Amino acid sequence: MLTSACFRKYLLPGFIFQSIIIGGGYGTGRELVEFFMTNGPMAGLLGMLVSMIIWSAVLAVAFELARMQKAYDYRSFLGGLLGKGWIGYEIVYVIGLVLVVSVIGSASGEILNSMFGLSEIVGISLMILAVGVLAFYGSNVIERVFSIWSIALFAGFIVVISVSYWRFGDKVGEVSRMFDPEADWIMSGARYAAYNVGLMPAMLFALRHLETRKEAFLSGSIAGVIAMLPGVFIYYSMLTQYPEIVSEPIPAYYLLEMMDIPVLQIGFQIILFGTFIETGVGVIHGFNERIAGVYLEKGLIMPAVLRFGIAMVLLILAVFVADAIGIVEIIARGYGALTWGYWAVFVIPVMTIGIWRIYRPITTAHRT
């Protein structure tokens, strides 16, 4: 039987990580098209496998580093890993935050416009308000909301893939055999993994429940799988509309239109809207926790109203970026550049300096 302690240690971190990356990672479906489906159906799946393996490996090491250092915000975590070089991560993180929130803000407006005919600014405003409220209440409320919504997300994605196979199953079998031996699926998987796992320090607040090295390694390994599974579900579902879906700005919405089941369209779009809120909350809460760490060092508590205010400023800035650049261009160009930044300031340091610090002889006192 799964106890609450086991849930907090082995499943909650995965749900939190998945919640943070999903809006910018595969909530719209556009990201899966850009990084994977353009290589062809089967090569795309292999690329997703590469990403999942990288996620699990990096998260396992990073979780243990956070546990050893008792570092639960990205400033203290990266400071312990990179010293004064941690500021490089902050620069990349803030740029990534604005880009990711730009994507989810744009997608939120389009979803409510398509569902209810509301102006896109209404959808964007509702997303901003929901993110601000959750940022105001902090870690405990965020953990509970993310856990519940992640379960709803898995259920929704299972329904979508089931209906896709029921309606268009023959086409999936046909396109899934397409494989281009020259497709660069390994590099695509590595790029996708980096720009997503680079957001991991935003979820450090969820690692306070880990007590031993074994728990940290196992929790990180499981988190990579939990985070990728919904992406695999939606990718398989989108294959039913391949290759037409490749050119769609929001492929997930196009897939629902092709299913032509109004109840499913509405229900799944509500779930998608919730995932955009989750991602917005996750990346902004990570930034707030970094500031809260400074308050804590001074023996103070960060005011909740300041959390709300920071969330509002960042969200409004991101909306202006989305309006100026456009969702397809942000994903195609912004995410690509962001990938190499995260490799440099997060993935490579964790998998080199981090592993060395975990296993060097003088750290034997940390082994429990």
Listed residue (304, 293, 361) closest to 86, CA to CA: 293
Residues 295-308 have pLDDT tens digits of 988 999 999 999 99
For residues 345 and 329, give the distance between their C-alpha atoms in angstroms, rounded to a whole number. 24
Residue 30 pLDDT:
84
Distances (CA, A) of 201 to 62, 65, 73, 259: 9, 11, 7, 38
Mean pLDDT in the chain?
86
Residue 332 pLDDT:
59
* Residue keyed to tokens 């400023």: 313
- Taking the complete model, does pTM exceed 0.85, yes or no? yes
| Residue 93 exposure: Cα atoms within 13 Å on the Cβ side | 27
User: What number does CATH give the domain 11-358?
Assistant: 1.20.1740.10
CB atoms within 10 A of CB 324: 10
**pLDDT-derived band of residue 1, with 50, 70 and 90 as boundaries?**
low
Residue 325 pLDDT:
63
Residue 364 pLDDT:
44
Question: Which residues have CB under 8 Å from 210's CB, separation 6+?
Answer: 9, 13, 63, 66, 67, 216, 219
CB distance 275 to 25 below 8 Å: no
Residues 74-89 have pLDDT tens digits of 889 999 999 988 999 9
For residues 209 and 2, give the distance between their C-alpha atoms in angstroms, rounded to a whole number. 15
Listed residue (22, 12, 20, 10) closest to 156, CA to CA: 22
Domain locations in the chain as residue ranges: 11-358
Total residue length of the chain: 368
pLDDT at 338 over 90: no
For residues 239 and 125, give the distance between their C-alpha atoms in angstroms, rounded to a whole number. 32
Tokens linked to 338: 């962001």
